[in-house]
Structure 1
Amino acid sequence: MTTARAATARPGTARPGTARTCDRETGITRSLLGYGVIAGPVYVGVSLAEALTRDGFDLTRHAWSLLANGDLGWVHIAVFVLTGAMTVAFAVGLRRAHGRGWAPRLLAVYGLSLLAAGAFRADPAGGFPRGVPAGEASWHGVAHLVSGGVGFACLVAACFVLARRCARSGQVVWAWSSRAIGVLFAAGFLAVASGAGATWANLAFTGAVVLGWAWIGALAVHAYRNA
């Protein structure tokens, strides 16, 4: 009976419930992708607000991760956890929208690294928080650096993986822009890792972080429109 009804249905007429199922699945995918749009503005906006209002913090000398220290450190820890969860959700949405591949996996690891960065606080450095001298590296400070290194490496790799995929599909602008972001982010990370606290190195890394979030947001918007 069911087979007969399906066979005699008019062309273009969906069976009851089919449209609702597709709309629901698309809605879930788009909701997950939407987290990639807002994660960057949340991280950059709150971090910049903290940097401009926290006593003793200097944008030219201090990395944003140091904001996890001090009495108000819980704010930045919450930002790490929230944006990390958003990035993981975005990676799941990207996988649902475009299928299996390395880009969603690498972005998911980047999101997990943000969660780890919130769990393992960076050690005080460069006179921040004010009055707290830099001491020996703690276990949680080392874990913070390791999780950050892994996450940043995965973000750079995701840029190049997506660039290769876009080049194959003829999306030249996306391919070149993804390569450029990957190179700039890697350069910024290497600068802060080898700059020994120099102003130029810290500013280069801060700029790279902003560019990385901008790329994630643009990718999320693009995937959302084509979901």
Structure 2
Amino acid sequence: MRLLLACGIIAPLLNSVVILILGAIRPGYNAWIVPDSNLELGDGGWIQSTNYIVTGALLLAFAIGMRLLLRTGRGSTWGPILLGIYGLTFIVIGPILPDPALGYPPGASSALTIHGAIHILFGLLQFTSLIAACFVLARRDAELERRSWSWYSVATGLLVAASYVAFVLTAKLLDGGQQDSLNGLALLAAAFGSLCWRFA
């Protein structure tokens, strides 16, 4: 069971390290503006796709470990289920590529496609499931009188939610031609918040 739970730490670390390396070496990619899923596009895009799939598999293993750990009580079923859904979304967005956006890859058309729309929907599900898991497990901690952990989970859920809203709003601004540097940063904040939550 410990190995399964350790997957919850390995997954975000692996995902973050791969994204940082690819973002640093990919010509034309700006991590402050462009979502990390766009690293699936262009030369070497298969690396990020594989990264998502492996990350998702690790998160599914973590969800199983959480179910074995919690066993009974409030959140013992829905907490792991939501974390499992969160992991599943990574596996889905691995092979289902996003559409080019915000100027990356350079010169590519940003027209919406079916696979791009599916990618967006599962991206929304990804954020929603993680936020819901935070609040479900926060209620469990509150019931067990672990107040500090409960508030920590609530704060993480709010951070991820706020980061997603910032991502959507700045994406609209950027598509309208206004320069901003919060789009990629919003996703980085969400990733950092979820990473800290799993370490806890």
Match of 2:164 in 1: 189
2:27 counterpart of 1:55:
yes
Measured after TM superposition, the shift of residue 217 of structure 1 is: 3.3
Taking the TM superposition and a 5 Å limit, the aligned residue runs for 1:136-215 are 136-195=111-170, 196=172, 197=174, 198-215=180-197
Partners of 1:36 and 1:87 within 8 A in 2: yes
Match of 1:216 in 2: 198
Identity of aligned residues (%): 36
Partners of 2:36 and 2:184 within 8 A in 1: no
Measured after TM superposition, the shift of residue 78 of structure 1 is: 0.5
Match of 1:105 in 2: 81
Partners of 1:191 and 1:204 within 8 A in 2: yes
31, 39, 42: which one pairs with 2:11? 39
Deviations 1:112-136 (A, max 9, x none): 01111112111111221123232x2
Measured after TM superposition, the shift of residue 39 of structure 1 is: 0.6
Partners of 1:191 and 1:202 within 8 A in 2: no
Taking the TM superposition and a 5 Å limit, the aligned residue runs for 1:20-31 are 29-31=1-3
**TM-score normalized with structure 1 length:** 0.80
Q: Which amino acid aligns with 2:102?
A: G
Match of 2:177 in 1: none
Aligned Cα RMSD in Å? 1.2
Runs of 4+ in 1 over 3 A off after TM superposition: none
SS at match of 1:199: coil
Measured after TM superposition, the shift of residue 141 of structure 1 is: 0.6
**TM-score normalized with structure 2 length:** 0.90
Gaps of 5+ in 1: 1-28, 219-227
Number of matched pairs: 189
CA distance in 1, matches of 2:25, 2:195: 22
Deviations 1:138-182 (A, max 9, x none): 111101100110121010000001111101111122111100000
Partners of 2:9 and 2:195 within 8 A in 1: no
SS at match of 1:55: coil
**Larger of the two Rg values belongs to structure:** 1
Gaps of 5+ in 2: 175-179
CA distance in 2, matches of 1:200, 1:146: 21
110, 120, 132: which one pairs with 2:108? 132
